[in-house]
Structure 1
């Protein structure tokens, strides 16, 4: 998408509720339209992230996923519909996003993120949203984003609980990475996946919406970053709490 210097009349109308915010304004909306965001996973977290980023006017949105839509996904992955069952998630998501906002660029990437392709995919975007459902992808994204100097907004959820943080260890000693918080990948059988333990659908909506909020804040350079802070959400008690953590000097990814 070509770099814009001013909003069109149609864009001023579409994004009016963004533009009237003093912290955003026309300059901020132009930043959003120039931004390129990669969303990893078109599932429970990816669905609200993608919908809100598209609605906000992120100029280029990449979505990477290798799965097809399953009927069991529809309880929480609200970007998909019944007619999309058995179709690739990235195609289903792209169709919905283009209908929501035809003025932005949607790049569906039907692939499983791996050590072989991650650098080439991540390198084309400014900021990354981790909406994956496995630890292998989370650690891979952390390492690649640190190496390429990309900000990573990551969340995870299970049953009635979720967590969220932002990682930008490439900016220096005051910014830890995911491995500073969780040094080693846990055994696969230690933490069950959603299909084993379940997930209350709106929990994904809450946390995905917060991820989208943090991404917009990072692009606009407003508010307080979640770098060095882990937000924990418990839906049963409707409580949020925060854990602060620091960079680990012995971290294999970002340590000295």
Structure 2
């Protein structure tokens, strides 16, 4: 997307990108205002899919449905597709939160409220708070005697980026409630949480002395863990999975109480 109405600029950009466009041109020229809105609208559209699935996951928990089965069903419709339909603890990073906020701001500046974008933002923060509230409520009355082991601080796998990470927001709420937190992430640092939580160098080191394992990031090493070791090392074998990484029936075989997003507790 090139935002310009200047023919000279168009020609310069055409020559600049020519080595990458040998088979066909993928450049779209448009006025700067349209280019700006295109960029924001693309990310807000994707964020909308995530927030819709997250809101639907809450209804699934009330209605007795399974969000993973619902996702498979609606994703099989070619008009919808499978991308960005995974329910979880919310989106983060440097793009989606910023671009949702930007579109909301542009709407406000032009006296045209972007109500869908506002709802997407509200649902995203609400999903993070709903997940952390569930955990805090689980240990109600015992917060100061509770320790949580946390897997993942980055907003997604394969990055050290913690900007707008749901993990950071939730862990901060745990600490404010008086809960101790031991965290592991293979790449991400703890940001302003440094000094308020304990970091360890191995994922299984968060388990000893912890009353539950909380998963925020879908790192590959978290996808096939040693459930026997988890069950043996936790003070009580409980997992709160913010990314729906596991099959509830399989986890239950190890005597682990398993809480996920939009699925029955097992």
User: TM-score, normalised on structure 2?
Assistant: 0.31
Q: Over alpha carbons, which structure has the higher Rg?
A: 2
Which has more helix, going by share of residues?
2
More strand by share: 1
TM-score, normalised to structure 1's length? Answer: 0.32
